[in-house]
Structure formats: C-alpha cells, structure tokens
Structure 1
Amino acid sequence: MKIPLILVSFLFAVNLHAQDIFGNWKTIKEETGEARSIVNIYQEDGKVFGKITRIFEESKRDKRCTKCKGEDKDEKVEGLVLLKNFTKEDDEFVDGTITNPVNGKVYDSKMWLDEENPDILNIRGYVGFFYKTVHWERVD
C-alpha cells in the first residue's frame, strides 16, 4: 500500500512542530503545580528570547520588576522579556540568561525539549556550579 504524499508531508510537518521550542509555554509553580503565566518564545536576529505575555493571577498583572536592574528596572512583569540571547547548539539552546522577576536576579541558562515529551521544555539556570531546572508545558 502506498501512502499518499500529502499524508507523508502532513506527518512530517506535525513532527517538526512537536520538536520546535517556539510558541507559548505555561510556567508552573514547582511546589504546587499551579500555572503561573504564559511565556512566548521567539527568535529575533538569530537569537532566542522569551516574553511573559500573560500572568494568570489578575492581581499580579500590573506588578513591576522593582528589583531588576538595567533596562528591566521597574518594567511591568507582564510583558517582560525574561529569556534572552539563547543560541541553538545541537538539541539545546545555550548561552542565554533568565531573569527571576521576583528577586531581579539574572542567571546563565540553557533550555531543551524533554526527550520523552516534546511538550515539556526544560529550563536550567546556573549560579556557579549550582543549578536549578524548571519544566514548562507547551500551550496549544
């Protein structure tokens, strides 16, 4: 039985989309499993960035990043670009930074899709030899 070319093309396109980090991701509070925000990951000038596009808790939508430094100082958290300057290296995005809008700290970071589930994005922030990895969920 021959598989129609259109079906093969569709299946290939679906698989490519599933492996793509670009788009919307739901951030999850690790301790409670509560969804906190939506971050849109996009590419600009060959680098990868992520911007908070929605904070779920309405009372926090106008909160400012008062502890941030530089250009992010006192910017609204909803709308803040918290992932900056990642580059693709093999199956990972590396050499970027992530900002914690709660304390204003900026961490070296890398991110990659989970091998078992491409709808999970692993993001790791570093302080020296110490690191923490969080997991975000893809939003359709």
Structure 2
Amino acid sequence: MTASRWLGLAVVTTLLVSTSALAQAPSAVGRWTTIDDETKKPKSVIAIYEEGGKLYGKIEKIFPDPNAPENPTCDKCEGALKNQPIIGMVIMRDLKKDDDEWSGGTILDPSNGKTYKCKIAVEDGGKKLKVRGYIGMSLLGRTQHWVRAE
C-alpha cells in the first residue's frame, strides 16, 4: 500500500471513530421537565444552555397547583433573588464538563431558597437527566431524574 493510501485510510478511520464518539455522547443542553418527587407530576421546564464552556439552567415554565399563583416569586431566596419571579430565574450555574457528567456548579431550589452543589449526567440515550444536589460531599444529597421536554 502506498503512503497516500495509508494516509487516506487513517483520515477515514479517524473521522469514523470521532463521529461515533460524538453520537454516543448526548448533550445536556436543551429543555428538561422536572418531576415532583412526591406527586410524580411535571413541576417545571428548565432550559439548560452553555455559556463560556459552562452549563446554566433557567426556569422557562412552571406547572403551578390550581390555587397557586401563575408566576410566583422566590420569597425564600436571599440576596438579589429575594422576591424575584421564579419564571426566568437562573437556578443552575457554572457546571463544567467532567468525563461523562457536568459538575462543580450549583443549583437553587426556589421552594426553600437554598443553594446546593450540583452535578448532572445524561442518561437513557439523552432522554433523561440525572440531577444530584448535595451539601458537602455527593453522598449527602438528593437525586432527581428530569425528562427531555418535547
């Protein structure tokens, strides 16, 4: 085989390997429906986006209870977020890619106003997002599974 054929074969092999690797790594970027832990009903839609190599998540829509306000404010939040509308609020911040997950950032729970360390991972071929909020180390926390919004 000539050198030019070897080079061509190497280029094709590299393209095939890199294309299949990209196909196997679904992105966390997109719209995700959060599910209430107790009722198992949809609670909100979070838009996750990338900015400066980090992931952020903003509340795009909520599904309030029948007697609840349609656009509540975060009365339990502190600082600049105190009494701000929940819809449009950035609740997930500064997650950095770490192998098959994103970590090193934080997530805010508007229902109690508390901020937790956070890590996320895409599962089920991109259909689910495993979201872990915790204090201190990852063992002390709670995991939710969000589903990709239609």
Q: Aligned pair 1:125/2:99, yes or no?
A: no
Q: Which residue of 2 aligns with 1:136?
A: 146
TM-score, length basis structure 2: 0.77
Tell me by how many angstroms 1:50 deviates.
0.3
Tell me by how many angstroms 1:18 deviates.
7.2
What does 1:33-112 correspond to in 2, within 5 Å?
33-57=40-64, 59-112=68-121
> Whole-Å Cα distance in 2 between the matches of residues 52 and 17 of structure 1?
27
Q: How many residues align?
A: 128
Structure 2 gaps of 5+ residues are 1-18
> Whole-Å Cα distance in 2 between the matches of residues 84 and 17 of structure 1?
25
Q: Aligned pair 1:19/2:26, yes or no?
A: yes
TM-score, length basis structure 1: 0.82
Instruction: Judge conservation of contact 1:68–1:105 (CA < 8 Å) in 2.
Output: yes
Structural RMSD (CA): 2.2
Equivalent position SS for 2:121: strand
Identity %: 37
The one-letter code matched in structure 2 to 1:78 is I
- Runs of 4+ aligned structure 1 residues displaced above 4 Å come to none
Instruction: Judge conservation of contact 2:117–2:136 (CA < 8 Å) in 1.
Output: no
Instruction: Judge conservation of contact 2:26–2:125 (CA < 8 Å) in 1.
Output: no
Tell me by how many angstroms 1:17 deviates.
9.0
Which has the larger displacement, 38-47 or 66-75? 66-75
> Whole-Å Cα distance in 2 between the matches of residues 17 and 64 of structure 1?
39
Structure 1 gaps of 5+ residues are 1-11
Equivalent position SS for 2:105: strand
The one-letter code matched in structure 2 to 1:68 is C
> Whole-Å Cα distance in 1 between the matches of residues 62 and 119 of structure 2?
23
Q: Which residue of 2 aligns with 1:9?
A: none
Instruction: Judge conservation of contact 1:18–1:119 (CA < 8 Å) in 2.
Output: no
